[in-house]
Amino acid sequence: MSSSWWLSFRGADVKCKLCGGTAVINMHQHRLSLCGEHFLQWVPVQVARAIKKYRMFGPDERILVAVSGGKDSLALWDILLGLGYHADGLHINLGVGNGYSAESQARAEAFAAARPGAALRVVDLAREYGAGIPELARMRRGRKACSLCGMVKRHIMNQAACSGGYDAIATGHNLDDEVAVLLQNTLRWSVSYLARQAPVLPGEPGLARKVKPLVRLRERETAAYALVRGIDYIYDECPHAEGATTLFYKEILSQLETRSRGTKEMFYLGLLDAREQQGAFRSDDEKVEMHPCARCGQPTTAPGLCAFCRLWAGGTKDTQGEV
């Protein structure tokens, strides 16, 4: 992490609104600048509010945190533990090269080792299933690494949550991630995705509830939290993310935000409001019949094997029915 990036969000001569000390962050959309100590108090309060507002989970529920080793997932795990939740971590080693996966796993393990009571489970894709993501993408020519990766991660997370008796899977998606996906879904008018993009996806038999407790925080806020808290996270993006459309959308949204503060919140909260209050994107034929996969038992819309099991069985390229 370069110091210039750090200084870019530090308000060099900006004072903490609460104590008058030197601010480490100036959050224009809230008209709020805070010193390190007050920022570390403010962030968990925002997360606790989001958990309550969107009814993500209760104080006695067991949460499985998807821990990549990046700033968002480690900050999320740290915050949930700090709030007193029973939150365990699951890291999936994707077998991505250039040291990316090895470093990511090392950060996740170091984080857990430094916190007594923080249990981390690691699933090594190549060791447990026979191939990492780059190799899978080579084997399945025509499939993009990220699309395979997304499906593989969803499947393994769900399997771990269901077999481990967890009440919910928590991921570190922040507001910037959500608005970038929202822009993409809107440009494509992907109505089925717009109907489901939410802070909480309720569970159903065989499918764990999915929650996004950082959904009201911006990326620079989660990064600042991790830095001020001294969390050692992997700074580099996955090499496969280079040139990803969502990164481009994030840039565009940040430009819009520069012109008009609060655009990101307006866009995202507008979606939730349009759906919940105005009935947008509701469809009567949304309910699809699910069957248990013949191999792993996870629910799938396709008869026979789910997309994950077909992948390893060398089956069809069709991934319809993946959950």
Q: How many residues make contact with ligand Q46 (CB under 6 A)?
A: 10
Q: Compare residues 18 and 241 and give the one whose CB is closer to ligand Q46.
A: 241
Which one of 35, 56, 175, 226 is in contact with Zn ion (CB under 5 A)? 35
Q: Which DSSP letter does residue 289 get?
A: -
> Which of 29, 184 has the CB closer to ligand Q46?
184
d(CA 174, CA 178): 6
Instruction: Check residue 112 for interaction with Zn ion (CB under 5 A).
Output: no
Contact with ligand Q46 (CB under 6 A): which of 240, 250, 264, 310? 240
Between CA 104 and CA 94 the distance in angstroms is 10
Q: Which span (30-38, 112-120, 220-228, 235-243) binds ligand Q46, by CB under 6 A?
A: 235-243
Q: Is 309 in the site for Zn ion (CB under 5 A)?
A: yes
Count of positions on this chain that bind Zn ion (CB under 5 A): 11
User: Under the criterion CB under 6 A, does residue 133 sit at the interface with ligand Q46?
Assistant: yes
Put residue 312 in one of left, alpha, beta given phi > 0 → left and psi -120 to 50 → alpha.
alpha
User: Minimum Å distance from CB 225 to ligand Q46?
Assistant: 20
Closest to 135 (Cα-Cα) out of 152, 123, 122: 152
Query: In the window 134-163, what residues touch Zn ion (CB under 5 A)?
Result: none
Per CB under 5 A, which region of 93-101, 157-165, 243-251, 285-293 contacts Zn ion? Answer: 285-293
Map residue 200 onto helix, strand or coil: strand
Q: Minimum CB separation from ligand Q46 for residue 158, in Å?
A: 16
Q: What share of the chain is helix, strand, coil (3-state, %, to 5)?
A: 50, 10, 40
Residues from 91 through 130 that contact ligand Q46 (CB under 6 A)? 94, 96
DSSP letter, residue 140: S
**Which contacts of 237-244 are long-range, i.e. CB under 8 A and separated by 24 or more positions?**
238/94, 238/96, 238/100, 239/96, 239/97, 239/98, 239/100, 240/96, 240/133, 240/134, 240/145, 240/146, 240/149, 241/146, 244/146
Asked if 238 is part of the footprint of ligand Q46 (rule: CB under 6 A), the reply reads yes
241 binds, among ligand Q46, Zn ion, none (CB under 5 to 8 A by kind): ligand Q46
Among 293, 311, 322, 323, binds Zn ion (CB under 5 A): 293
Q: Is 21 in the site for Zn ion (CB under 5 A)?
A: yes
Closest CA to 281 of 207, 186, 177: 186
Q: Which of residues 145-164 bind ligand Q46 (CB under 6 A)?
A: 145-146, 149-150
38 binds Zn ion (CB under 5 A): yes
Tell me the two tokens of residue 54: 């969107």
Using CB under 6 A as the binding rule, whether residue 71 contacts ligand Q46 is answered as: no
Q: Quickly count: other Cβ atoms within 10 Å of residue 106's Cβ.
A: 14
Give residue for tokens 């100036």. Answer: 26
Q: Give contact residues for ligand Q46 (rule: CB under 6 A).
A: 94, 96, 133, 145-146, 149-150, 238, 240-241
